[in-house]
Structure 1
Amino acid sequence: MTQEIETKRVALITGASKGIGRLCAERLAAEGWRVFGAARTHATIENVESLEMDVDDDASVAAGVAQVLEKAGRLDALINNAGFSQRGAVEDVSMAEAKAILETNFFGALRLCRAAAPALRESRGVIVNMSSLAGQIGLPFTAHYCASKAALEALSESLRFELRPFGVRVVIVEPGDFKTDIHTARRVSQATREGVYGKAFDLFLRKRRAFEAKASTAEPVAELVARILNVPEPALRYVVAMPSQRLLLVMKRVSPQFFYEWIMRKILCQ
């Protein structure tokens, strides 16, 4: 084993070709980590080792984790970031589309957690699961994405209990709106655009686009992930979002349901 392998901590990041995943890869590499950036297609990132991996495929995930261990001899951190967003009414989004978003956003992370767990037990490492404020706040026309993130949060909390005796920390990061490729690559239901929900959907999309336009770039998320990896006893959940979005979480916890829903309708639907 080389001196580099002995001294450098090793991180595997999924969805590393762009957006938050790419920023996390760049940040950790700059801080001296040996970083493997996994994506479906090859991405060139300075000081990051590219790894082709499809998180929807069992064999691809197993092969990718094995490749990291073969090259580096260890794994200290797994950042499950791969995912995509879908907009559309529950009634209109097909079952195939619904299954696809759960396959990537939830089952993809689950595959990585299972495949990486033995190596992380050995290193007493960290799992960071990239959720969203949508994991706690249900949004209209975003049910499938919200459900995928809520499922990821439940998985993370359960896994945290299971892995804690082995010294492995499991953490949820909940970003709010940031300027990333997830907005431009988001899938939008044409059936909802053209159907009975069309008028409400158009208003919702315009309001969300106006809000997203105010968002900053996502460097704060990468900075937070880097800090978490250096905390001996990290919390279960970290929120990184605009103050107004943080306020929504507080309102949901302390306000009567009718008042919270009235506020959300004002913000998103009226």
Structure 2
Amino acid sequence: MTESLKLPVGIEDFAEIRQAGFYYVDKTKFIEQLLDGWGKVNLFTRPRRFGKTLNMSMLRYFFEIGADASLFDGLQIAKNKKLCEEYQGKYPVIFLSFKNVEGLNFADAQYRLAELIAGEAERFAFLAQSDKLTENDQSLYCGLTAVREGRYALADEVLVSALQLLSKLLSKHYGQKTIILLDEYDVPLDKAFQNGYYKEMVSLIRGMLGQALKTNEFLQFAVLTGCLRVSKESIFTGLNNFKVLSITDNRFDEQF
């Protein structure tokens, strides 16, 4: 009698599921589809509990430099040797989930966002001493992770360009363009609408995504997920090669 696998209830980290022997429905075809149907910026809108975060985690572990390639042993993507040789473990990856970016006022939500980006920047502490970066670049990196009186001290004017800056520093260090993964991008806007600071948050998110996704020469590609597409005051104005893949789009229906 074969041993039954554990069910990964509430677990959204791909590496944890694979390493701990949880049941996993193979969604790695998503990687092939994403690369074959190329889009510079891809937005997937799906209801909650459709596997968005787990798929984003899977993308991170596949593309990120230094990730454990054995996580994909026995899965469908591993059969595509050519694709794996070309893409697996070849890119710096920025992975952010906006699910906790909220607050009763704009200042609180803005700090949650700064805290999130600073925490992700700290994963790349080697940038502070990278010999591939100039002293100015190293100083800019330290500005992303600075702490003052027990709080991250990321300046408001720097926050808007923080994603673009981090992707630039990673690209210069590795000599390879950066992949940006943004999960639940719409949560800060939804919470802002509920608590009366929607205009301020739209301005911040529009500026941040504009710099990171529109005019960023250091971007390889980006994937965003959320429940809704924000359209009234579009934060995606001017994006080239921008693809919206909603629940009515059948191109990725087996992966979500």
Which has the larger share of helix? 1
TM-score, structure 1 length as denominator?
0.33
TM-score where L is the length of structure 2: 0.34
Using CA pairs below 8 Å that are at least 6 residues apart, which structure has the higher relative contact order?
2
